[in-house]
């Protein structure tokens, strides 16, 4: 997607409905550039000696030792934490206005983190330089490999201070990014054979099978993925989003806005006014759980309250930017399976 295209979207729109278009511009990783099919060059869980990792841009970052001075997007740091890799420096939604942990911080103790930027387009480059990072790790939401939450204005300065690694969350199903994050964690010293990790993966696979069975037994249940702002209700299509593409593959009957309606937003989602929030009938509504959006309990629009799914109490949370560990993704799959199993046909 061209910069001219992405530049048209507002910050609110970019963060809504899983339509993260990756405005953090492409930062080229230090090291050699390999083939574009991805894969890890890491040598397992070695904690010392040379380190290298080929990211999802097909670029290999190589260091003479396993990095410990890691700076990562908050959700990535939270995923690595679940594998036992603690990251000290983060950027992205970390603390809410009241100082509590943002949903994207997972189980991390945010009081112990060095935060270089807590919101979109915010990154303290001077503080980052003083931290002396060895590698920057984030996700990418587009085919170009743009680094998520790395500001366009300061990307070049940031790129000169440390190599970068990107895990793609664009146009693929969630098992692939989960696998790639696990490989990255292993390269940094995680033990993927640890009982906790093995059990988490088994639970994810069991949850996925449960969702497959639920969707097959209740094909009439229509599920809508939404996100709320003051003036706009966003309806996500399944294109590009790792969770929705996976749910669709498992047989979930998702509301799919027409391509023409999503075109203005890069094919990710459709904008609706609150007056037209009832455009798509739905039995279950999955609502964006990120702090940048309005949560269901705080929506005061009368048209929202009249929706059959809302009146029936069939509204569940969705994480458009899921923390990419099996431990954190399992509940997302389980919650949808449970909702479909118990849903009343109301649309």
Q: Whole-angstrom Cα distance, residue 244 to residue 236? A: 9
Rounded mean pLDDT of 9-27?
A: 37
Of 8-22, 176-190, 322-336, least confident by mean pLDDT is 8-22
Per residue in 236-249, pLDDT (tens digit) is 999 999 999 999 99
Q: Kindly indicate the confidence band of residue 25, based on its pLDDT and cuts at 50, 70 and 90.
A: very low
Going by the DSSP 8-state scheme, the letter that residue 101 receives in this structure is: B
Q: Whole-angstrom Cα distance, residue 53 to residue 40? A: 5
Q: Which residues, including other chains, have CB under 8 Å from residue 156's CB and lie 6 or more apart?
A: none
Q: Kindly indicate the confidence band of residue 264, based on its pLDDT and cuts at 50, 70 and 90.
A: confident
Of 284 and 23, more confident: 284
Rounded mean pLDDT of 188-215?
A: 98
Of 90 and 267, more confident: 90
Per residue in 299-327, pLDDT (tens digit) is 999 999 999 999 999 999 999 999 999 99
Block residue for tokens 């899921």: 322
Give CA angle at 251 (249, 256), nearest 5°: 80
Q: Say if residue 143's pLDDT is above 70.
A: yes
Per residue in 34-79, pLDDT (tens digit) is 433 333 333 334 456 899 999 999 999 999 999 999 999 999 999 9
Give CA separation, 258 vs 24, 137, 177, 246, 289, in Å: 28, 34, 27, 19, 24
Helix or strand holding residue 334 (H, E): helix 326-342
CB neighbourhood size of 41 (10 A): 17
Q: Which residues, including other chains, have CB under 8 Å from residue 318's CB and lie 6 or more apart?
A: 18, 225, 243, 286, 287, 288, 289, 332
Q: Given this model, what pLDDT does residue 49 score?
A: 80
Give CA separation, 173 vs 101, 143, 177, 285, in Å: 27, 15, 8, 20
Q: Say if residue 253's pLDDT is above 60.
A: yes
Of 3-7, 147-151, 343-347, least confident by mean pLDDT is 3-7
Q: Given this model, what pLDDT does residue 226 score?
A: 98
Rounded mean pLDDT of 174-201?
A: 98
Q: Is 318 helix (H, G, I), strand (E, B) or coil?
A: strand
Q: Given this model, what pLDDT does residue 48 score?
A: 67
Q: Whole-angstrom Cα distance, residue 233 to residue 276? A: 9
Give me the phi and psi of 174, to 5 degrees please.
-60, -30
Of 98 and 228, more confident: 228
Rounded mean pLDDT of 141-159?
A: 96
Q: Which residues pair with 288 in a beta bridge?
A: 318
Q: Given this model, what pLDDT does residue 200 score?
A: 98
Give me the phi and psi of 83, to 5 degrees please.
-100, 5
Q: Given this model, what pLDDT does residue 281 score?
A: 97
Q: Whole-angstrom Cα distance, residue 150 to residue 35? A: 24
Give me the phi and psi of 32, to 5 degrees please.
-80, 155
Taking alpha carbons only, the member of 317, 336, 347, 346 closest to residue 215 is 336
Q: Which residues, including other chains, have CB under 8 Å from residue 216's CB and lie 6 or more apart?
A: 251
Q: Which two tokens stand for residue 97?
A: 């206005």
Burial class (CB in 10 A: 0-12, 13-18, 19+), 228: buried
Q: What percent of the chain has pLDDT over 90?
A: 83
Q: Say if residue 6's pLDDT is above 50.
A: no
Rounded mean pLDDT of 105-112?
A: 97
For the whole model, what pTM was predicted? 0.87
Q: Under a CB-based contact definition with an 8 Å cutoff, are residues 1 and 266 in contact?
A: yes
Mean pLDDT of the chain: 89
Taking alpha carbons only, the member of 259, 311, 324, 249 closest to residue 285 is 311
Q: Is 135 helix (H, G, I), strand (E, B) or coil?
A: strand
Q: Which residues pair with 226 in a beta bridge?
A: 235, 287
Q: Whole-angstrom Cα distance, residue 211 to residue 216? A: 8
Q: Given this model, what pLDDT does residue 32 score?
A: 35
Q: Is 299 helix (H, G, I), strand (E, B) or coil?
A: coil
Using N-to-C axis directions, what is the helix angle for 175-187 and 326-342, rounded to 10°? 160
């Amino acid at each position: 997607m061209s910069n001219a295209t992405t530049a048209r979207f507002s910050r609110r729109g970019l963060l809504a409905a899983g339509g993260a278009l990756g405005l953090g511009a492409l930062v080229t990783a230090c090291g050699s550039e390999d083939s574009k099919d991805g894969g890890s060059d890491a040598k397992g869980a070695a904690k010392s000696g040379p380190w290298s990792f080929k990211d999802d841009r097909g670029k290999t970052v190589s260091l003479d030792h396993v990095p410990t001075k890691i700076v990562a997007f908050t959700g990535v740091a939270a995923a690595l934490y679940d594998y036992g890799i603690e990251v000290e420096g983060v950027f992205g939604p970390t603390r809410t206005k009241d100082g509590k942990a943002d949903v994207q911080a997972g189980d991390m103790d945010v009081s112990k983190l060095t935060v270089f930027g807590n919101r979109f387009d915010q990154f303290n480059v001077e503080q980052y330089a003083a931290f002396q990072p060895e590698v920057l790790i984030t996700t990418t939401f587009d085919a170009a490999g743009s680094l998520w939450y790395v500001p366009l204005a300061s990307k070049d300065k940031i790129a000169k201070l440390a190599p970068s690694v990107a895990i793609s969350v664009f146009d693929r199903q969630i098992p692939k990014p989960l696998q790639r994050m696990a490989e990255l964690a292993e390269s940094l010293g995680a033990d993927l054979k640890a009982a906790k990790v093995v059990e988490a993966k088994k639970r994810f696979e069991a949850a996925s099978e449960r969702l497959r069975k639920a969707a097959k037994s209740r094909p009439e249940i229509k599920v809508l993925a939404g996100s709320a702002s003051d003036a706009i209700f966003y309806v996500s299509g399944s294109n590009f989003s790792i969770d929705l593409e996976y749910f669709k593959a498992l047989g979930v009957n998702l509301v799919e806005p027409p391509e023409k309606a999503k075109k203005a937003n890069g094919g990710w989602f459709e904008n609706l006014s609150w007056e037209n929030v009832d455009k798509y009938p739905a039995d279950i509504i999955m609502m964006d759980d990120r702090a940048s959006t309005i949560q269901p309990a705080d929506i005061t629009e009368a048209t929202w309250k009249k929706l059959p799914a809302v009146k029936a109490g069939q509204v569940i949370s969705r994480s458009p930017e899921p923390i990419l560990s099996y431990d954190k993704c399992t509940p997302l799959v389980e919650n949808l399976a449970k909702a479909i199993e118990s849903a009343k046909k109301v649309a």
